[in-house]
Amino acid sequence: WPDQWYLHDSRSLNNLPDLDMRNIPVCNMGYTGKGIVVTIMDDGLEWNRTDIIGNYDPIASWDTNDDD
């Protein structure tokens, strides 16, 4: 978590703008993202990898290359 500056910019440099995604205030408002589907356009997604398969949604997916 401390190195994920894109989630919470904790740098102490006043001359730089905040560069995070501003997600902490959203989470504090009670939003969780549950039920949201995110699509990633990719030409080589290995959907059956152990770190992906549990979150892979075949209904929200389309193989544009070779129907595998």
Give the model confidence (pLDDT) of 41-64 as tens digits. Answer: 776 778 889 998 998 888 888 777
3-state secondary structure the chain: CCCCCCCCCCCCCCCCCCCCCCHHHHHHCCCCCCCCCCCCCCCCCCCCCCCCHHHCCHHHCCCCCCCC
**Minimum mean pLDDT range among 5-19, 32-46, 48-62:** 5-19
Would the pTM of this model clear 0.85, i.e. be above it? no
What are the residue ranges spanned by the domains of the chain? Answer: 1-33, 37-67
Tokens representing 7? 């989630």
pLDDT for residue 67 is more than 80: no
Burial class (CB in 10 A: 0-12, 13-18, 19+), 9: middle
